[in-house]
Structure 1
Amino acid sequence: MAIWCAHLAIDRWRLAQSDRDAADAQAFALIAETAHGPRIAALNDAGLEAGAHEGQLLADARALAPHLQVAPSDPAGDLAFLEALALWAQRWGPWSAIDAPDGVIVDATGVAHLFGGEAALLADAQALLARRGLAVRVALAPTAGAAWALALAHHGASAAIATAGPGLHDRLAGLPVAALRLDPAVQLLLGRLGLKRIGDLMGIDRPALARRFRNRRSPAANPLLRLDQLLGQVPEPMLPVIGVAAPLVQRRLVEPIRHRELLDRVVADLAQDMARLLEAEGKGARRLELGLWKVDGELLVRHLEMAEATRDPAHVVRLFAHRLDGLDAGFGIELVRLRAAWTEPLGLAQVDLDDAAERHGTSLAACIDRLSVRLGLDAVRRPVPHGSHLPERAQRWRPPLEARAGEQPGLALHARPLKLLDRPEPIAVLYEAPDGLPRRFRWRERVYEIFRAEGPERIAPEWWRERSTTRLRDYYRIEDAQGARYWIYRAGLPGDGRGGAPAWFLHGLFA
């Protein structure tokens, strides 16, 4: 059984909106950054009615639909959503696989009778997927390729069934070659050769077609291989999606508890159980979720995210003690469940016996965890250098103990001020034309006499990112009569053809 999500990205965005009716009414598009600027990756129905279309540059679409609302596309999030959908679709078969970028294949061999027949199986799939708010087409066929072709090309209804035999061959022959899941370049080449239907490929001389595509080893670039897979003459290996159960422990209490002391004791017991479970699997927890079910049916959830993998029960209990402050137990809590939503491999390590008795401090990871619990998860970060010569882009913020393998080295530039402003502030500067040193500047309604000046340090624009109208910068380190030092720059040069007169900005303050 093939499940094709016709509007996966838009459906996922729509499901995240609180008011879906209002979201459907406004023209909306998901955009992707390209070398030529933002380009539309997906559109809702209102956006299509406004005149925009997929693949169009955002600037051109805004000319047709000025009120078009946009948001960045998220291919990684779409893939994660598709993986979760593939796991959920295993209710219709023993295993499922992803057919990127927007499809799921389910092995429904021998299970149709459990639903009352193939038609009932497809009806059940349609109903449940529609209930989830997804616009899909489903099809059932003897091979994965045939099911996908029917789901993609069948426009008469949202479901189609094809059985093995001569009728399947005739039914597939009338479908377009796009149903073979070929690359766009291959589809364009076949169209130029006059091969627009699958039946055209079936009737052509195979050796002649094989010679043209003999160097195409990828299935998506070889129409003959796709055709054989479609008809079941060549097996089509697929990688099934296998769900990994997160470690979970729970306590179902005989009597509901309302007091904090009893709850802390239950959490301590769960932490011990989780430590034993993680140790047996050779893992440590990075994210823990504590669920508390109250007698009245309300669910309370508390989250923890650690700086590095751990399975220390005492450390987990200390962190949850802050999360449980101010908890309202109501008429009592009858079920407590602890789940490790994110785990990492964590092997056993030998403790240094000589230092164990002398070491009474707190490890760096434990200290970071305590600070994160008290101040917030995003409050503890570390700056890392980034490969950019523009000051505001020369660093990135990363989690405190994240591995440094993917970091880019920063450029070895001149001295930088200790404080950079969030946004450079415009200033008025008196300087020697055309490109002499600054003598006086006005900032925040106050005039400053420049006692010393050093520069310029010229920084060219990043032409591969910015538009051609971006101007270069000349940075100066200056000092006023009171000894305060500033970092200012001039954007542009007179007569550079990229704007009017140069503009001056204050970008940083030295100690």
Structure 2
Amino acid sequence: MPVVLAQAGRHGPVVYAVSVAAQARGISEGARIVDVQAIHPDLHVEQADAPGDRKLLDRVAHWARRWCPWTVRDGADGIVMDVTGADHLFGGEAAMLRDIGTRFQMQGLTARLAMAPTRGAAQMLARFGAGRVICDTEDLEMCLAPLPVAALRIGADTDRLLQRLGLKTLGALMQVPRVALMRRFDRLAEEINPLVLLDRALGRTADPLNAPADARHWLARVRLPEPVIDPLPHLEALAQDLCVQLAEAEQGARQLRLTIYRVDGEWRSRDVATASASRDPAHLLRLLAGKLDGIDPGFGFDLLTLEALRVEPLALQQDHLEGRRDAQRDVAALLDRLTARLGPDKITWSAWVQSHLPERVEHALPALGHVAGQAPVLDRARPLRLLDPPEEIAVLYAVPEGPPARFRWRRVAYLTRRHEGPERIAPEWWRDRPGTRLRDYYKVEVGDGRRFWIYREGILGDGRGGDPRWFMQGIFA
């Protein structure tokens, strides 16, 4: 069955990638899905995951550093490796290419391989060459000459222009005087200028490989001479070792993983997280100790590892000279311990969002996803206690265009002594449904001195329902 991956296009879904069976039928990338399905009714279409493909290619690029120390992702479907001085470790260039192809096949990946003196030449030969190619410096121009000009990856417009000029191959482009072409392409950017790209491929100008550094792993391990059952006595040494590594790099841990490796070949792990970056061994030890319940050591384990899965910058700083405690750090430590004991969904922290409606201002989030110590600026004109949802009150007597003179809430009648308002809040048209009524808020003081925050939903004659309704929103301290 032919299979293709689809992604969104300007005029509907288009083909993103094709299987071998689909390619054999002549289906190519960029074709419209509806057109292809009309010709091939048995075509199977799946949605493409371009971000996932890029992440996989980044992982494969780092995995490819088994052959050389400099590798980088090349576009959406390639990897460039600078193997200068490394091929002799595998028995020569031909043996290295065979090993690369074999190991990619073992991973279930099909690879087109090429080796050339320059980065651009290797890219073009891998994509447009015939099979596995090894090109020497002396044969560089001869190897590149039969390739189409599209191998330069110059873009559709420049490619179309060269085709109209009769320059269909790189060999034909090399034969044209450079002065004439430079006047035509001097305004193009270097990334799509065919002459600049050709010079890089032929080694006339530098084209260095800017490979990212390897991701650093923060890991502490303890190897035991004989199997043990209880990991608790060894946690302190693990926490101390890991925190020393983090302190040297001025980093703090946000997520940790403790793993025990049993003698029967199995392993068990426990994860903990922190509300803010930390490298306090005592604090991390308390979090880990609470996660050991229920872990199965089997017949014993002889290896423990503690890894910082996620870190954040945490500068070295001196504690207060007067011995004063850091309140923000204490709150973060408390959140960590409660979350480790009760679970991440049980401990929440208030997040504040922009909204006109009072009940939408506060939003609960897991405490570990919030930076402890950041509090909102409270509006003194609002009550400290809000009712969610607001409770409807029964109006016994209302002043025209004013608050109710008498109302009943929770089976108790109240007489309004003083009031302030109204404060009108219109519906949020970008969120509320059509027909939502506006609100008029009042601060009222009743006979016993208590102050309430009430509002009238709607006004007479607004065309959005019947009579207005009254609600109790909050209570002032």
- Is the structural similarity TM-score above 0.5? yes
Does structure 1 residue 31 correspond to structure 2 residue 11? no
Secondary structure at the aligned position of 2:112 is classed as strand
Alpha-carbon shift at residue 289 of structure 1 (Å)? 2.0
Residue among 182, 186, 189 paired with 1:214: 186
Distance 2:372 2:12 in 1: 32
Give identity over the alignment, percent. Answer: 35
**Cα gap change, 1:191/1:365 in structure 2, threshold over 3 Å: closer, same or farther?**
farther
Residue among 436, 446, 452 paired with 1:475: 436
* 8 Å CA contact 2:229, 2:299 repeated in 1: yes
Does structure 1 residue 278 correspond to structure 2 residue 253? no
Distance 1:318 1:214 in 2: 65
* 8 Å CA contact 1:51, 1:65 repeated in 2: no
Alpha-carbon shift at residue 510 of structure 1 (Å)? 8.0
Residue among 348, 370, 392 paired with 2:337: 370
* 8 Å CA contact 2:6, 2:13 repeated in 1: no
Q: Which amino acid aligns with 1:302?
A: R
Aligned to 2:461: none
Q: Which amino acid aligns with 2:292?
A: L
**Which stretch of structure 1 is more off in the superposition, 267-276 or 77-86?**
77-86
Q: Which amino acid aligns with 2:70?
A: W
User: TM-score w.r.t. structure 2 length?
Assistant: 0.70
Does structure 1 residue 123 correspond to structure 2 residue 98? yes
**Cα gap change, 1:57/1:26 in structure 2, threshold over 3 Å: closer, same or farther?**
closer
Q: Which amino acid aligns with 2:429?
A: I
Q: Which amino acid aligns with 2:270?
A: R
State the superposition RMSD in angstroms. 4.4
Q: Which amino acid aligns with 1:147?
A: A
| Cα displacement string for residues 266-297 of structure 1 (whole angstroms, at most 9, x for unaligned residues) | 11221011112211222111222222110111
Secondary structure at the aligned position of 2:141 is classed as helix
Alpha-carbon shift at residue 251 of structure 1 (Å)? 0.7
Aligned to 2:170: 198
* 8 Å CA contact 2:328, 2:372 repeated in 1: no
Aligned to 2:277: 309
* 8 Å CA contact 1:50, 1:65 repeated in 2: no
Q: Where does 1:68-147 land on structure 2 (aligned, <5 Å)?
A: 68=44, 70-71=46-47, 73-75=49-51, 77-147=52-122
Distance 1:152 1:341 in 2: 37
Aligned to 2:463: none
Alpha-carbon shift at residue 211 of structure 1 (Å)? 1.2
Secondary structure at the aligned position of 2:143 is classed as helix
Alpha-carbon shift at residue 136 of structure 1 (Å)? 1.4
Alpha-carbon shift at residue 70 of structure 1 (Å)? 4.0
Secondary structure at the aligned position of 2:290 is classed as helix
**Which stretch of structure 1 is more off in the superposition, 116-125 or 177-186?**
177-186
Alpha-carbon shift at residue 149 of structure 1 (Å)? 0.8
Distance 2:373 2:14 in 1: 33
Q: Which amino acid aligns with 1:228?
A: D
Distance 2:243 2:69 in 1: 32
Q: Which amino acid aligns with 2:116?
A: A
Distance 2:36 2:46 in 1: 11
* 8 Å CA contact 2:218, 2:307 repeated in 1: yes
Does structure 1 residue 238 correspond to structure 2 residue 199? no
| Cα displacement string for residues 297-349 of structure 1 (whole angstroms, at most 9, x for unaligned residues) | 11212222322211011221222223221011010010001122322221122
Aligned to 1:229: 200
Distance 1:340 1:248 in 2: 7
**Cα gap change, 1:89/1:68 in structure 2, threshold over 3 Å: closer, same or farther?**
same
Q: How many aligned positions are there?
A: 399
**Cα gap change, 1:362/1:281 in structure 2, threshold over 3 Å: closer, same or farther?**
closer
Alpha-carbon shift at residue 353 of structure 1 (Å)? 4.1
**Cα gap change, 1:278/1:362 in structure 2, threshold over 3 Å: closer, same or farther?**
closer
| Cα displacement string for residues 37-72 of structure 1 (whole angstroms, at most 9, x for unaligned residues) | 665544555777899764456677777769856446
Aligned to 1:164: 137
Alpha-carbon shift at residue 134 of structure 1 (Å)? 1.5
Aligned to 2:371: 401
Aligned to 2:421: none
Aligned to 1:437: none
Q: Which amino acid aligns with 1:306?
A: T
Q: Which amino acid aligns with 1:368?
A: L
**Cα gap change, 1:316/1:458 in structure 2, threshold over 3 Å: closer, same or farther?**
closer
